[in-house]
Amino acid sequence: MALFTASQNHFLAHEPGLNRFRVVRAQQHMLLLDHPKTKTANRATRLAESLSHVLNLHLHPTSHKPLDLLSVHEEKHSTPTMSPRENISEKWREIQGFSDWEEILDPLDPWLRREIVKYGEFAQATYDAFDYDSFSEYCGSCRYNRSKLFERLGLDKNGYTVTRYIYAMSHVELPHWLERSHVADTWSKDSNWMGFVGVSDDEETRRVGRRDIVVAWRGTVAPCEWYEDFQRKLDPIGHGDAKVEHGFQSIYRSKSEATRYNKSSASEQVMKEVTRLVKFYKEEKGEEVSITITGHSLGGALALLNAYEAATTFLDLPISVISFGAPRVGNIAFKEELHQMGVKLLRVVVKQDWVPKMPGLLFNERLKMFDELTGLEWVYTHVGAELELDVHSSPYLKGGLNLVGFHSLETYLHLIDGYLSSETLFRSEARRDVALVNKSCDMLVDELRIPHSWYQLANKGLVCNAHGRWVKPERDPDDIPSHACQVYNDHLGIVM
């Protein structure tokens, strides 16, 4: 159906103040007008009223430039950034994918949308709290203590407690994003903070209908720099024909007695903590327990490896993965094993993002028949249900080619918040703050006047001391990575 007639298109084309946001609103009104129940009404009158509202321009008092999109954005400044948190205790199995999310992805169930955003924000926390500063002696660590993480990042209202941090290393040649600090005396020369394990508190447990153990994996700092390094070969996993990408496996399982934080692998760290939580809540307290694993980019790949291991360990627990912009991880046999083990995976992808197309740009699940006929085991394949988003659906986002912006997790979360279905436009009730999109990229239209890549420490981490010198500040003692504390608490079995 054509959304505008020729005369309407002519009118819109000659209205200099009409921007993309107004066009979208106009399209929404046109769809309403074309509804069968509306056709019998006075369409001319309704059209005039709709266009009058759409073209109600707000002009800057001095420049007389249209500020419609900016005005709409500013009108939301006094509204909450979160949708109401509904009680999903009666529907949690459907939300977690027991039916593979059939009939609730398109259109997207609003309760599911809220949960996807929640887990996506856990994944985003692994970026926001990561120390990227190569001149910092703590480069590669988390900036905050576990007990402070959610409070410092504004996630304390989600109702989860962080119980353990995860550290990883790799035995493959490290790409740029894992290069060590420029400082010789650093907290660790081998390891990087890669995420955390958390668990829902009592109130959140009642809301979601079970005790939810969450694992969040960090992705890459600069995704465009490393994917070629992780397309080498597929390595066996388990005892069958399942194989996974060599580089992902190395990060998940590498360890060394010579290191401080990776005497045990990321795999061993996360499974030890999840096992402890399952034993306490399920076996000792008799509660219903689920495991939800999330991650973006590389973190999504690690989440899938984590889910595979968890499914082989906990045969009777519901295990779900919600990944964002994740690459392919393994071959068809790996996919089939995950399916047989009952792991539920929801992959959120942006149509314009190239990372989910890797590895296996040419040899992937589309060649399944070829793989079966030839016996080849190196064909990469995606796993699970897919929710595809489109950058062009949002009036707030720029056009053009922006690989970093397309892959940014904040772009994903913005698009999810505005997604209704594949057949409808960006929802006007979207609550999440649009400014977050530009935290580490330049994706928002210029009319919004949001600086690009604005998320950073004040003065890039320097502070002025009592003598007027600009220096690197000392970290709060609680926020300094403490290997001795971790070893001591591991020995006692204390929640960290």
* Enzyme catalytic residues: 297, 353, 407
Rg over alpha carbons for the chain, rounded to the nearest Å, is 24
Residue written as tokens 């992705």?
219
Closest listed residue to residue 325, CA positions, set 229, 443, 404: 404
Angle between helices 43-54 and 20-33 (to 10 degrees): 160
Cβ(111)–Cβ(91) below 8 Å: yes
Looking at residue 9, its amino acid is: N
CA distances from 160 to 63, 211, 349, 433 (A): 48, 10, 26, 22
For 394, other C-beta atoms within 10 Å of its C-beta total 26
How far, in Å, CA of 296 to CA of 126, rounded?
A: 10
Closest listed residue to residue 305, CA positions, set 229, 249, 227: 249
Q: Is the dihedral of CA 20, 22, 26, 28 positive or negative?
A: positive
Q: Is the dihedral of CA 277, 278, 279, 285 positive or negative?
A: positive
Element (H, E) at 27: helix 20-33
How far, in Å, CA of 98 to CA of 48, rounded?
A: 48
Tokens read off for 433: 């703050």
Looking at residue 248, its amino acid is: F
Q: Which residues fall within 8 angstroms of residue 458, CB to CB, at 6 or more apart?
A: none
Residue written as tokens 């960290």?
496
Cβ(414)–Cβ(432) below 8 Å: yes
How far, in Å, CA of 10 to CA of 148, rounded?
A: 56
